[in-house]
Amino acid sequence: MARSSDRDGGDATRASSAAAGTDTGVTDTELTDADATDVGGDPLRPSDHIDSVRPGPSDGAGITQPKLGPLGYLRFFWRQLTSMKTALFLLMLLAVAAIPGSLVPQRTSDPNGVVQYRTDHPDLFPVLEKLGVFDTYSSPWFSAVYLLLFISLIGCIIPRTRHHFEALRARPPKTPARLSRLAGYRSITLETAGGAGDDPITAARAVDAARAQLKRSGYRTQVFGDSVSAERGYLRETGNLVFHSALVGVLLTVGVGGGFGYSGQRVVVEGQTFSNVLGSYDSFNPGRWFDETQLSPFSIALDEFSTEYAPDTAGAAGMATDFTADVTAQARGGDAEKTQIKVNSPLSIGGSNVYLLGNGYAVDVTVRDGEGNVAFRDTVPFLPQDTNLTSLGVIKVPDALPDQLGMIGFFYPTAADNGTGALTSTDPDTTNPVLSLNVYSGDLGLDAGVPTSVYTLDTDGLTPLAGTDDDAQEKAVQLTPGETATIPDGLGTITFDGVKRFASFDIHHDPSQVWVLLFAGLSFAGLLTALFVPRRRVWVKATETDEGVRLEYAGLARGEDPTLGRAVGDIAKTHLGGLGVPADVAREVADDPSRHDVEKPGPDAGGRGRKI
């Protein structure tokens, strides 16, 4: 009592000294306990409780936040970046940032589509160009989200992995004092001896039997006196870590491995051969760390291209149903092999995949100049413009004399008059093929050193000889296979020799594909493990009482586990059966967890439970 009086006196002295404005030498630290309670309301209630009386500004007792230095701010932002909430937000943001890549053509995969988009949307194109939408996956904003997600995942994985390894080495936790508060609790009291043998049922025997049973069920066990503690489900966290680590692997292989790959496109006409060398590509998109030595030597010859169309009876006459490219492929050191390339059925050769992108018609043309010399003889691909394969192409004859010749041609597989005097195609098959040419003469600009597309012709500065221009000397030249027409002004002749099919191939090489597939599989397996493997703790307690041995069973789940109660019941049923308890009694205890001892508050807590 004297000690209590001294304390009270000291408090009074400090209070009076503070009121008088004198210095007693007492520090703020000594007043912490008093300041942490709501003296004006309930002295046992913390001062920051929701029901506490809030001091006003005049009291000078407001909450003061600690000041953060540079290191403190770095730690704060690092914790925010590595939180699970931030990682999920960045993952969603990455999915949203990838949407423009599927809405507009990309330079890496469809450079011609970008050019066409610029022609179709001249006002919108500059805005999207400044935003980097046509290079979505290499744009600064997409890379920023990508890198932040990468760092966030690593920041989440490393501490969780360290914590998980510590948990794997740790012992199961001690048995709680009140098992009756846990899920699936049930109890039973066994009187002395019983069961299949003559050995009495003791607490030690019950604990040993429970430990052996739980070990067989895959639990890690630890005996604490009269109870056994068991835990299982560490594979759940392992799967979670594997899932997140595999996501990092996918991001890493896609971001880095893609830099060693390449993709290129080539149009191959029937009878022609493509060799996998850099100069054979019509367009080529190398990765950041691409080396020309990565090109595996192989060749592909297009033997025949065929298309199947829906029959007239199907109600979709003229609709293509299948495309097949019959090719002869040969890798270095291997034999030539005849195979097929179809849509979504690529050819794998030399570590690359060859995809069928498109198809169309190519016309065989021979042009003789005004002196009768063959100035041009080639098969020219014409690009399809509609579903009936009305095709547009350009023929450039730079070696013609005395003037260079340029022609813009239209090919109609099944030509018909549309009623206005113009031609149109009514069917994609070559039932009535017609080639129409607008002919120009003059300097084609091929010697200016500026690269130009083989599918376009700049007619500025050229003289129209035949076509739809008002100052053209004649109408457009129209030819059927085998026909020859004279070019105006005695500049030569042009012969339509025939029609062939062409196929457009995309050759794609990505050394990271195998790794992406591996990490994707690990990610899926880890996700399934994290979702369906339960994390459980189970306790079995055996206590010697005056009435016999009291057995208690209970469990605890980390997270949601709707089957925990049933699992505890199964453990109790098997354990009791091993101790020789009749099957009907063991089943009743397992199936009816409500029939157990319930602790009562007060000195008489406890109960009898099931008694045998």
CA distances for 402 relative to 375, 397, 405, 439, angstroms: 11, 11, 9, 15
Q: What is the pLDDT of residues 114-156, one digit of tens each?
A: 888 998 899 999 999 999 999 998 899 999 998 999 899 899 8
- Return the H-helix or E-strand segment holding 427: none
Return the residue matching tokens 């205890």: 589
Mean pLDDT within 159-179 = 92
Pairing of strands 536-545, 548-557: antiparallel
Q: So what's the pLDDT on residue 554? A: 95
Q: What percent of the chain has pLDDT over 90?
A: 48
**Smallest Cα–Cα separation from 435: which of 400, 489, 500, 391?**
391
Q: So what's the pLDDT on residue 57? A: 53
Mean pLDDT within 213-240 = 94
Confidence of residue 54 (pLDDT cuts 50, 70, 90): low
What are all long-range contacts of 143-146, with beta carbons under 8 Å and residues at least 24 apart? 145/90, 145/93, 145/94, 145/97, 146/94, 146/251, 146/255
Does residue 527 surpass a pLDDT of 90? yes
Between 27 and 306, residue with greater pLDDT: 306
Distance between CA 346 and CA 213 in Å, rounded? 55
Q: What is the pLDDT of residues 67-98, one digit of tens each?
A: 888 888 898 899 999 888 898 899 899 999 99
Does residue 392 surpass a pLDDT of 50? yes
Residues with Cβ < 8 Å from 312, sequence gap 6 or more? none
Q: Is the pTM of this model over 0.85?
A: no
CA distances for 413 relative to 16, 39, 183, 391, 581, angstroms: 108, 96, 77, 9, 89
171-233+534-611 maps to which CATH number?
3.30.310
Residues with Cβ < 8 Å from 551, sequence gap 6 or more? 187, 188, 189, 190, 206, 540, 541, 542, 572, 575, 576
- Return the H-helix or E-strand segment holding 390: none
> Collapsing DSSP states into helix, strand and coil, what is residue 9?
helix
DSSP lists the bridge partners of residue 441 as 405, 463
Q: Are 401 and 375 in contact (CB under 8 A)?
A: yes
Confidence of residue 8 (pLDDT cuts 50, 70, 90): very low
One-letter identity of residue 239: G
The first and second tokens of residue 325, run together, are: 């490219």
**Smallest Cα–Cα separation from 440: which of 367, 363, 361?**
367
Distance between CA 302 and CA 335 in Å, rounded? 16
pLDDT averaged over the chain? 83
Instruction: Judge if the upstream peptide bond of residue 402 is cis by omega within 30 degrees of 0.
Output: yes
**Smallest Cα–Cα separation from 231: which of 529, 526, 539?**
539
Where helices occur in 356-440 by DSSP H, the ranges are none
Domain ranges of the chain: 77-159, 171-233+534-611, 239-261+511-530, 262-509
Q: What is the pLDDT of residues 313-344, one digit of tens each?
A: 555 666 788 899 999 999 988 899 999 999 99
**Smallest Cα–Cα separation from 466: which of 378, 405, 402?**
405
Distance between CA 103 and CA 606 in Å, rounded? 70
Does residue 64 surpass a pLDDT of 90? no
